[in-house]
Amino acid sequence: MSTRSEILKKIRGAVGGPDEKNVRRVSVEQHIKRHPAGTLPSKISSKAGAIKLFIKRAKSADATVEQCGTANVAEQVASFLREHNLPATCRTGTDYKLKRLVSSKANLLELSEGPSDGNDITAISCALGGAAETGTLILVSGPENPTTLNFLPENHIVILHEKDIVPHQEDLWKKIRKKYGSGEMPRTVNMITGPSRSADIEQTLILGAHGPLRLHIIIVKG
Amino acid sequence: MEIRSHKFRQNAADALANEQLQNALAHVRSKFIQKRAKAVNNLKAFDTLRDNATAIKNHTLENLDVYLEIFEEKVIAQGGQVHWAATAQEARGQVLDICRRVPAKTVTKGKSMISEEIELNEFLEQNDITPVETDLGEYIIQLRGEHPSHIIAPAVHVNMDQVRDDFRKHHTHLPEDRVLEEPKSLLLEARGILRERFLKADVGITGANFLVAETGTSVIVTNEGNGDLTQTLPRVHIVLASLEKVVPTLEDMSQILRVLARSATGQEMSVYTTLSSGPKRPDDVDGPEEFHVILLDNGRSSMLGTEFQDMLRCIRCGACMNHCPVYHAVGGHAYGWVYPGPMGAVLSPSLAGVDKTGHLPNASTFCGRCESVCPMHIPLPKMMRHWREREFEQHLSPPSNRRNLKLWAWFAVRPGWYRLMTRFSHLGLRILSGWSGSIRWLPFARGWTRHRNMPGPERQTFMQAWQRHLVERRKS
């Protein structure tokens, strides 16, 4: 008998017994199909409330947050870079909506495209959404927003559209099911709450570990 | 690692005498407890979420076979592979087979207690593959040739001065006169060194906080971003997970996530929760080409259906050890195996045998703090008691303990004799305490009085006080 069937046999012997008529399998599949949400702790009734809470929570997780209209995104990025004395070069994926937002007539930014090899100082990504409850961004892998951009550059700028801010994680799972199909996922989904950190030396919290030292979120209105 | 739990008494005595360790443990006593309390108080629904999380895991364990099959089907459908391992040896062999085929010289690693449990690093080194721990705490103890002393803060026993010395000793290519005064400069140095390792590694190995059956997804929770780089940059990603990590759906995972970070570090969410499903897709520009999940049993299926099944709900948050007076006093290494603190005192006998680790369930005052903070409502003291019973039944406890217990049992079922005995002992203790003060010397318990005084007894025994209370109540 293979290790697999031995382990499964042992489990069946201890819990539920053999599932010959697939009774347990059917009830388990129903649970997965229904995927009940459980308890959602914060009561958020309006979009404005969700945005306000998102900003508060993201800031308390040490992210910086700015809000602006679609016409001012490039300026916002440029001002963040200036503030931290960073070069005006940024890495992005192929997300054309994001590129349209950050390109400007005045050529404020120099953009390069593709995944990061570790030599980029700043990356810009577009989030699939944000969960207000904890100020958490959700980013998905793909050529539009490669996963390496979320981790290798020291500065990560994330564009988040107001309409994509939802109260809870569960709202984002709905969105992912709608986009990719039920039970399907992109290779990587990153839930990001603030810049990277470590408290491994004497339990003292230090920002900037292996991931970005700074996380800057630009919330785009409208 | 070699099991040294049978030397717990000696380990504990050494730990208590180790001044450096005692300084380091002070951080556990203060910081972890405060941070958790604050986070829990800020969330009204915390107790409801605990109940939900417990119910989700119970349901999953009752149908573990079905959920594992569904998880496996989804992983395969996405182009990944699942390997089942009954023992540590089998799991090690599977990792080595994959590494040899790649072929891999360097393996980067995210923090994984399963990797400790199967002694993977030693094994890879023996086979000429270099494992590189990338979590800062794990990296520090790898340099020191040690094992984790805490399940979420592996280097909690180390002070900053020691880290500085280790970095100077090992990072010899860096200028000797560089300034390493702050934790920040130490972190940046580690970041620089590990960055190169990340980019050069052939295989990345991570653990898993969850396996989501619905989507065939492995999930890791980190703050540093090291695990995330580990599973994104190398060509091959291997996930080491034990069977009980599976949860049904993304929603079920979200319920448990809400209690995990709050119980562990006092954060609302850890910085990174990363969900990986299969290898990179045809149009992806980064991510691994191969995705392997090793499902490890190593004794867990034998816990199902027994009084230890509830232990399989554990999500490894570390709250039990952060609140344990015994852990506070002796630290994690004294426990002598992979899992320390109350969760280790229950899990280690299940995985490594009560004959080798029987001291651990005895290393508890049964104060109950561990159970009261456990986000998964695991009845840790009750299970430690079960292990004590088994230890007694299997004649593993020392003869003197057994004799004393038998003697006590004889009195315990004879109330008249019992009361007589307590009255004599009460009188004896009163005399030893000089009728009111504390006791400085006690026959048969010199281990206690050698280090501290024992408080003398009250004037009356409980039964005497109770009788008096009854008489007075009748009068009034």
pLDDT of residue B435: 80
Q: Do B242 and B363 have their domain in common?
A: no
> Which residue bears the tokens 């100020």?
A135
Q: Do B102 and B151 have their domain in common?
A: yes
pLDDT for residue B316 is more than 90: yes
Give contacts of B 321-380 with A, CB under 8 A.
none
Write out pLDDT tens, residues A122-137. 999 999 999 999 999 9
Q: Do B52 and B33 have their domain in common?
A: no
Indicate which CATH number applies to the domain containing A112.
Answer: 3.40.50.10420
Angstrom distance (rounded) from CA B163 to CA B140: 7
Inter-chain CB proximity B251 and A36 less than 8 Å? yes
The average pLDDT across B222-244 equals: 97
Give contacts of A 181-210 with B, CB under 8 A.
183-204, 206, 208-210
Who has greater pLDDT, B300 or B396?
B300
Boundary residue ending a domain (B236, B265, B296)? B296
B447, B454, B463: which is closest to B433 by C-alpha? B454
Mean pLDDT of chain B: 95
Boundary residue ending a domain (B347, B364, B397)? B397
Q: Which residues of A touch B297 (CB under 8 A)?
A: 7, 10
pLDDT for residue B9 is more than 80: yes
Q: Do B110 and B148 have their domain in common?
A: yes
Write out pLDDT tens, residues B325-361. 999 999 999 999 999 999 999 999 999 999 999 999 9
Asked whether residue B407 is domain-assigned, the answer is no
Q: Do B122 and B11 have their domain in common?
A: no
Most B CBs within 10 Å: which of A6, A10, A11, as the mutation test of the B interface?
A: A11
Asked whether residue A17 is domain-assigned, the answer is no
pLDDT for residue B177 is more than 80: yes
Q: Do B24 and B143 have their domain in common?
A: no
pLDDT for residue A104 is more than 80: no
Give contacts of A 41-100 with B, CB under 8 A.
41, 57, 61, 93
pLDDT of residue B448: 79
- What residue in A sits closest to B150 (Cα-Cα)? A200
Who has greater pLDDT, B443 or B338?
B338
Residue B143 has a CB neighbour count (10 Å cut-off) of: 17
Asked whether residue B270 is domain-assigned, the answer is yes
User: How many domains would you assign to chain B?
Assistant: 3
Structural domain containing residue B91: 43-296
pLDDT of residue B37: 97
Asked whether residue A33 is domain-assigned, the answer is no
User: How many domains would you assign to chain A?
Assistant: 1
**Neighbouring residues of A167: CB distance < 8 A, sequence distance ≥ 6:** A40, A42, A44, A50, A53, A131, A132, A133
Write out pLDDT tens, residues B75-120. 999 999 999 999 999 999 999 999 999 999 999 999 999 999 999 9
Structural domain containing residue A152: 44-220
**Neighbouring residues of B387: CB distance < 8 A, sequence distance ≥ 6:** B345, B346, B349, B354, B358, B360, B361
Q: Do B32 and B84 have their domain in common?
A: no
Asked whether residue B303 is domain-assigned, the answer is no
Nearest to A39 among B153, B255, B267 (CB): B255
pLDDT of residue A38: 94
Indicate which CATH number applies to the domain containing B87.
Answer: 3.40.50.10420
Q: Which residues of A touch B210 (CB under 8 A)?
A: none
CA distance B86 to chain A (A): 6
A139, A135, A136: which is closest to A126 by C-alpha? A139
pLDDT of residue B285: 97
pLDDT for residue B398 is more than 90: no
Burial of B296 (0-12, 13-18, 19+ CB in 10 A): buried
- What residue in A sits closest to B151 (Cα-Cα)? A200
Give contacts of A 24-43 with B, CB under 8 A.
24-25, 27-29, 31-32, 35-39, 41
pLDDT for residue B370 is more than 90: yes
pLDDT of residue B463: 86
Asked whether residue B302 is domain-assigned, the answer is no
Give contacts of B 289-318 with A, CB under 8 A.
295, 297, 301-302, 304-306
pLDDT of residue B1: 78
Orientation of helix A169-180 relative to helix B250-264, angle to 10°: 140
H or E segment and range at residue B3:
none
Indicate which CATH number applies to the domain containing B375.
Answer: 1.10.1060
Q: Which of A145-159, B18-32, B44-58 is predicted least confidently?
A: B18-32
* A72 band by pLDDT with thresholds 50, 70 and 90: very high
* B459 band by pLDDT with thresholds 50, 70 and 90: confident
Asked whether residue A130 is domain-assigned, the answer is yes
Task: Give the percent of chain B with pLDDT over 90.
Answer: 85
Task: Give the percent of chain B with pLDDT over 70.
Answer: 100
Pairing of strands B217-222, B210-212: antiparallel
pLDDT of residue B443: 81
pLDDT for residue B439 is more than 90: no
Interface confidence, given as ipTM, is 0.97
The average pLDDT across A71-80 equals: 95
Q: Do B30 and B50 have their domain in common?
A: no
